[in-house]
Structure 1
Amino acid sequence: MYAYGRNVLKEILNAKYSIKKVYFTNSKNIDSELKKLIKKVSELGISHIFLDNEKLEELVETTKHQGVIIDIGREFNYADLNVLNSVDHEPLIVILDQISDPHNFGAVIRSAVASGVDAIIIPKNNSVEVTSTVIKVSAGQIFKLPIIKVTNLSRTIDELKKKNIWVYSADMKGTPYYELDMTYGTCIVMGNEGKGVRENVKKHSDGIVSIPMNNNVDSLNVSVSCGIILFEAKKQRDIRSK
C-alpha cells in the first residue's frame, strides 16, 4: 500500500511505523523541508530511491504526492482489541458501523486524534478499510492511534461493556449528546452514511445519542456528527481534570 505526502511521512516516522521503501522526486528544485526528510530517512537507514514526477504520479494516480511516496507494505497494520488493556485512563473509543466513504473515514480519524480518542474500531466486512486516500485525508494522523478491525461489532460491544465502557449509538432520536456524561469509559458508534447504525448494533448498545438540530435538518455528515460528539466528550473530560 502506498501513502503519500510530506506530513504523512513525518507522522509515519514519528510513530516508528514499519516502512518498506520511500520514493522521493528526483527533481533538482526541491525545498529545504524535503531535503530534511530525505536526510532523516537516510539517517534511519530506510530504503529509498529517487524517481521522476511522472513515475511518482503513476504509483499513486495523483499529482498531489508532494514529491514523497511511502510503501508501507501490502496491508495496514491493524491493532487487536487487547490494545485497550494498556489505556491508563477512562477510554474514549469510536466504532464505525459500515462507513463506506474513505474521505469520511479519514476525517473521522483527524477529529478522533484531536479529541483524544484511544482507538477506532471497524468491522471486517462491508466497511471501508484503511487506504491511501484514508491516510492522506487523515493527514497522517491515523498513525497516532490504533485502528482495530473486528469480525462482529455486536460481540465487540459486549466485550467493551465488560470493560465498564458505556456504548452509545448515534441516531436522530436519542439523548442529546451534551446530556451524556462521557467522562467515564465511553464508546460512540457512528453509522453508515445512508442507513445509519444497524438495529442489531443499537440493541447491544447502552443507549442512543443524538444531535438536536433546527430548521428541519435531519442529519449531518457522519464525520461532522462524530466530531461534535467527540469534542463534547473532550470538553467534559478537560473540565473534570481541572
Structure 2
Amino acid sequence: MAKTADFVILEGRNMVRDALTSGQKISTVLISSSSMGDPKIKEIEKLANSKGVKTQIMPTDELLKMAESRNPQGVIALMDVPEIVSLKQILLAKRNSFILLLNHIDYEQNLGAILRTAWAAGVDAVVVSPNGVHEITPVVAKVSMGGVAYVPLIPMSLFQAMKMLHEYAVPVVGVEVEMGKTMYEQKLTGPVAFLMGGESEGLSEPLQKECDYFINIPMQKAVASLNVSVATALVLYEKNRQESKEL
C-alpha cells in the first residue's frame, strides 16, 4: 500500500502567493538561493512572514529536485494535507454541484493528473472508490501540482455516493465506450456527476444500473479507449464549453 503524503508541494510564485493569501495551512516556504534578489520572491517572503509561516533558503539544485515542474520559479510551499470533507457537506454547500466519481483508479499518476484537471475545470469534489488508489500519496500530491489543496478527495463507496447524489437531484452520467449519446450531443449543463471507469475494468454492470444516462467520447474505430485522465479532461471541459455557451 502506498504511503500517504505528509504534505502537499505547491510550486511557483502565483500558486504559493495564492495559497498564502487564501489561508491554506502552509508549514514552510522554501526559496532557492539564486532567487533571493527577485522582487516577487521578496514579496512572497514578506507575505509568509506576516502569516507566521516559516521561510527557508536552500540551494537551487536541491529545490529543483523537490519540484515536479522544471521551473518552480524559485519557490515551493509545503502545505498540510487537507482534511477529508463529506460529500453531503459539498452537496449542501453547492446548489449546482459539479462532482466527479472515479471507479478503480490503478495508478497514482492518473489520480494526480485528474485532480489537477478537476481543479482547473472547477469540479467541486472528486469521489474515489476504495478499490483503487484513493488517498493523497506523495506521488498523487506531486502530480496534482496543487490540485489536492483545492479539490476535496473523498474516498467512499460509489453506490453510497450515487444514492446521495440522487437524493440531492444530481444526475449521475456514466462515461463509457459506445454507450448513450456522444458528449457533444448530450446536454451537460447544470448539476452533474460524471462516473469514470478505471483503466482495467471500466464500469461494472451494477454501477451502470445506478447511472441516469450515459455519454461516450467519439473516437476512431481503431482506438479501443483513452487513458482515464485524458478521458476525464475531455468530458469536464465539454461540460464547461456547454456552460459558457449558455451565458
Bin the TM-score by the shorter chain. Answer: 0.7 to 0.9
SS in 2 for 1:173: coil
Identity %: 27
1:172 corresponds to: 177
Q: Secondary structure at the match of 2:223?
A: coil
CA root-mean-square deviation: 2.8
Structure 1: runs of 5 or more not aligned:
none
Q: 1:184 aligns with which of 187, 190, 215?
A: 190
Q: Do structure 1's residue 52 and structure 2's residue 52 form an aligned pair?
A: no
- Structure 1 runs (4+) deviating above 6 angstroms are none
The reply on whether 1:235 has 2:241 as its aligned counterpart is yes
Cα 1:208–1:66 shift into 2, 3 Å: same
CA distance in 1, matches of 2:77, 2:175: 35
Q: Residues 206, 110 of structure 1: CA spacing in aligned structure 2 closer, same or farther, 3 A cutoff?
A: same
Q: Distance in 1 between matches of 2:61 and 2:233?
A: 37
1:155 maps to a residue whose letter is Q
Tell me which residue corresponds to 2:3. none
Q: Secondary structure at the match of 1:3?
A: strand
TM-score by length of 2: 0.81
Q: Contact 1:115 / 1:234 at 8 angstroms: preserved in 2?
A: yes
1:160, CA displacement in angstroms? 0.6
Provide, for residues 82-111 of structure 1, a one-character-per-residue CA deviation record: whole Å limited to 9, x for no partner. Answer: 1221113x2221112122333322332333
| Partner of residue 131, structure 1 | 137
Q: Distance in 1 between matches of 2:59 and 2:116?
A: 31
Aligned to 1:212: 218
Q: 1:196 is paired with a residue of what secondary structure?
A: coil
Query: Is structure 2 residue 38 aligned with structure 1 residue 31?
Result: yes
CA deviation vs aligned residue, 1:54-109 (integer Å, no higher than 9, x gap)? 66567x48795654343333x43222111221113x22211121223333223323
Query: Does residue 20 of structure 2 align to residue 13 of structure 1?
Result: yes
For residues 13-42 of structure 1, give each alpha carbon's deviation from its aligned partner in whole angstroms, at most 9, with x where no partner exists.
Answer: 244211223333344755333222212111
1:86 aligned onto 2:93: yes
3-state SS, counterpart of residue 26 of structure 2: coil
What's the counterpart of residue 162 of structure 1?
A: 167
> What is the aligned residue count?
237
- In the alignment, structure 2 segments of 5+ residues that lack a partner are 1-6
